[in-house]
Amino acid sequence: MTSTYRYKFLLSPSRLHLGFLLVSGIFPLVLVGVMEMPSGPKWLLLAVLVLFGLLQYLAWRNQQKTIVYLEQLNDCDWRLGYADGTVTEGRITENSYLTRYLMIFRLVAKDRQGRKIILFPDSLGEGEFRRLRLRIITGLKTGQNPELDQGV
């Protein structure tokens, strides 16, 4: 039996997210550049900030942990598919931040492992971002499993 709920959202890497990472990496570099401090600690701090920014970029580009699809199984249950082929099923918790321009939510798997997901509008096709947001809101309003949310 096919469900009317079953819908797969195909995701792509967000350029807005990359832009945010770049700005958040460049701002501290500029700030350290204009600060009055001895040159030794300044160069050390700059090196640490550059390394941290590089690690953030590499984490963003890591293809193994990239979510390639998000599938709604029913009102409350969702499935995440990763680029390496692994799949996680779980429920989205009520402490989600869902707006027109940003979605931050947590999927708690059956084994109680949590996964925070950040989505920008350019991660999905046109209109798909709104459809996903409304499906999550509707699923949250129909009720979560209270046993799953205890202790989260």
- Type of residue found at 89: E
The pTM of the full predicted model, rounded to 2 decimals, is: 0.67
pLDDT > 80? residue 56: no
Q: What share of the chain is helix, strand, coil (3-state, %, to 5)?
A: 45, 25, 35
What is the reported pLDDT for 143?
63
Burial of 88 (0-12, 13-18, 19+ CB in 10 A): middle
pLDDT in tens, 22-35: 777 777 777 777 77
